[in-house]
Amino acid sequence: MRSQRGWFLLFLLVEVVVALFATFGGADFDPLTGLLVLAAAGGWTLVTIRAQREQENELVRVRQIAELAQQAVVRPLPPRLGGVSLAVHTRSANDQSLVGGDLHDALVAPSGVRVIVGDAKGKGMEAAHLSAVVLAAFRRHAAAAPDLVTLAGALDAELFPHLGEEDFVTVLLAEFAPGEVRLVNCGHPAPLRIGHRLEALEPPEPSPPLGLGPDPRMRRAGLGLSQRLLLYTDGLSEARDADGVEFPLDHHVRHALAAPGLDHALPNLLDLLDEHAGDLRDDLTLVLAQPVPVPDPAERVPGPAPGDLGVTVLPADSGNERP
């Protein structure tokens, strides 16, 4: 619409120029020449407007195709999966760019509900391609992989042939079992446990992202029915205000995410984010999860015993948790 106004103004300017020549040109002004100039300018304007409309229509079609492709790659999650309630929010930094590098998915495995959240380096179709590869690998291997470390290795192996020299994908894998969550982090922001306080569940040791030789270790953390876990991409943690200050993950965030109902908690968090940063400069994915009671004991699938992995499970909100 703005472009059409521009061409109309240009056409109007040509008319004004012709009128001025007609008024002040005196005997030297040829009215036929003025009419030809005016007709040529009008015809050129109409052709340009039509071409502009065709281009805009083509962009709309491309946008629709991109939206369908993104929906096919990143599937919407149900509000409940197994013994876990879920709420998801995704947002693009650019309304015109629906295809990006953020990814998420979840499924039920024999050892519990498994969730993936990740972020491919870059933007646009190249990042979307890497995201699609990781998601496809997750859907192939997540149900059968014996543990999350093995799953991370399978994702890295399938991603490797598709990587350029500087490509990588950060990934956080979570497995929800009764009373706890198991985490494997490959270069991704640490998830937040929301309870009496807000805690970042950092990995036992840092690991590079997929594509850069990941070597993660699993962390186990208590997660009760009254607690929640937020998995997110760096569009949240690296959102900056006008002074360059990053979005603080503080008690305000804890209060927002503790709202009754997951469907109210994420909007509260987004209000805080918008107040701090305004326009997003990066894609954003939020997955908020909370364990729920499973009435039928037959639906409860126990995970491996704590001693099987040589780790200690401490109560939720413990400040002395060990990997």
Give the residue extent of every domain in the chain. Answer: 2-68, 77-309
What pLDDT score does 218 carry?
A: 98
Q: Which residue has the higher pLDDT, 165 or 16?
A: 165
- 3.40.30.10, 3.40.50.10470, 3.40.1360.10, 3.60.40.10: CATH of 77-309: 3.60.40.10
Q: Which residue has the higher pLDDT, 244 or 92?
A: 244
What pLDDT score does 295 carry?
A: 66
Q: What is the mean pLDDT of residues 201-228?
A: 97
Q: What is the mean pLDDT of residues 258-274?
A: 94
How far, in Å, are 40, 48, 190, 215 from residue 35 at the CA level?
A: 8, 20, 70, 76
In the chain, the percentage of residues whose pLDDT exceeds 90 is 55
* DSSP per position, 17-32: HHHHHHHHSGGG--HH
The Cα 55–Cα 63 span in angstroms is: 12
Q: What is the mean pLDDT of residues 266-288?
A: 88
- Whether 82 has a pLDDT exceeding 70, the answer reads yes
The Cα 54–Cα 138 span in angstroms is: 40
Contact 152, 216 (CB under 8 A): yes
> Of the ranges 67-71, 74-78, 247-251, 285-289, which one carries the lowest mean pLDDT score?
67-71
